């Protein structure tokens, strides 16, 4: 059986440096459980840890699927940042090593990639929201509850902005799914009343009939919050 990790040769579109980056084979991904905020728990290696490619020469970072597809001629801000980082004498963070990595290192890669995506000529809110959600999952994987709480708040805020500004939402989620996700990110912060209102809002969406699974999950969460609030009341 092939090893789950392998090194992929690639060329940076901005500084044109050639380097290797560690990727995880799709065939090695073993999903164990789906979490309520759509993150997966995996058996063995976690693909989230290897989802970002970072150039060791100029520090440009992007999702694996985007790294080689960036239209350099349209991205003046990224080109300027790439050049500045390439010429910088400051020590670079330890995020360029090949081979097995950790959730903590993956968070640094995601944060760097998020900074570059914010420089894009067209900023895709859906991509930024999804990347912030990955940071939540990585902190959870690392067992860092304090930083997970901060990441939950950040992800919820950007998903709210995405919901308010986007012309189109992910077909797999639609409006009800995005509202549900904001609700679950809010619930995980302990804001139960606010989360319950969001789940109820998801159920009230005009599109909810097209998303029966989201409807079921929203009802389950409303009941979970009700049970938790009753338990807290009894304890008090």
> In this predicted structure, what is the pLDDT of residue 106?
97
Inter-CA distances, 131 with 39, 48, 71, 117, 155, Å: 12, 10, 20, 10, 9
The DSSP bridge partners found for residue 34 are 40
Q: Is the dihedral of CA 154, 168, 62, 85 positive or negative?
A: negative
> In this predicted structure, what is the pLDDT of residue 167?
79
- Cβ neighbors of 31 (< 8 A, separation 6 or more) are 40, 41, 42, 43
> In this predicted structure, what is the pLDDT of residue 94?
73
> In this predicted structure, what is the pLDDT of residue 95?
87
User: CA gyration radius for the chain?
Assistant: 20
Work out the angle at residue 69's Cα, subtended by the Cα atoms of residues 65 and 70, and round it to the nearest 5 degrees.
115
> In this predicted structure, what is the pLDDT of residue 199?
98
Of 136, 129, 199, residue with least CA distance to 159: 129
Tell me how far apart the alpha carbons of residues 216 and 202 are, in angstroms, rounded to a whole number: 11
Tell me how far apart the alpha carbons of residues 133 and 224 are, in angstroms, rounded to a whole number: 22
Burial 202-213 (b: 16+ CB within 10 A, else e): bbebeebeebee
CA 36 to chain centre: 14
Q: What is the mean pLDDT of each run of 10 residues along the chain (236 residues)?
A: 89 95 95 96 96 95 95 93 85 83 96 96 93 98 97 98 90 96 97 97 97 97 93 70
> In this predicted structure, what is the pLDDT of residue 1?
55
Yes or no: say if 98 and 20 are a contact pair by the CB < 8 Å rule. Answer: yes
Indicate the pTM of the whole model. Answer: 0.94
DSSP 63-116: EHHHHTT--GGG-HHHHHHHHHHHH--SPPPS----SS--HHHHHHHHHHHHHH
> In this predicted structure, what is the pLDDT of residue 230?
86
> In this predicted structure, what is the pLDDT of residue 236?
56
């Amino acid at each position: 059986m092939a090893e789950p990790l392998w090194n992929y040769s690639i060329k940076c579109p901005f500084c044109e440096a050639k380097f290797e980056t560690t990727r995880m084979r799709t065939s090695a991904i073993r999903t164990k459980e789906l979490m309520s905020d759509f993150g997966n728990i995996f058996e063995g290696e976690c693909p989230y840890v290897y989802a970002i490619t970072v150039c060791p020469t100029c520090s440009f970072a992007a999702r694996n699927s985007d790294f080689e597809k960036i239209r350099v001629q349209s991205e003046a801000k990224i080109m300027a940042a790439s050049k500045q980082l390439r010429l910088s004498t400051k020590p670079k963070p330890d995020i360029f090593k090949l081979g097995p990595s950790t959730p903590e290192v993956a968070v640094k890669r995601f944060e760097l990639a998020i900074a570059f995506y914010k420089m894009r000529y067209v900023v895709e809110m859906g991509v930024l929201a999804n990347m912030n959600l990955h940071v939540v999952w990585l902190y959870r994987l690392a067992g860092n509850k304090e930083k997970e709480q901060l990441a939950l708040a950040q992800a919820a805020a950007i998903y709210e902005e995405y919901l308010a500004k986007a012309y189109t939402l992910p077909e797999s989620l639609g409006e009800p799914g995005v509202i549900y996700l904001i609700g679950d990110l809010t619930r995980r912060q302990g804001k139960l009343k606010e989360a319950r209102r969001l789940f109820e809002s998801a159920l009230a969406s005009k599109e909810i009939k097209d998303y029966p699974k989201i409807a079921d999950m929203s009802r389950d969460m409303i009941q979970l919050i009700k049970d938790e609030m009753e338990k807290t009341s009894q304890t008090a």
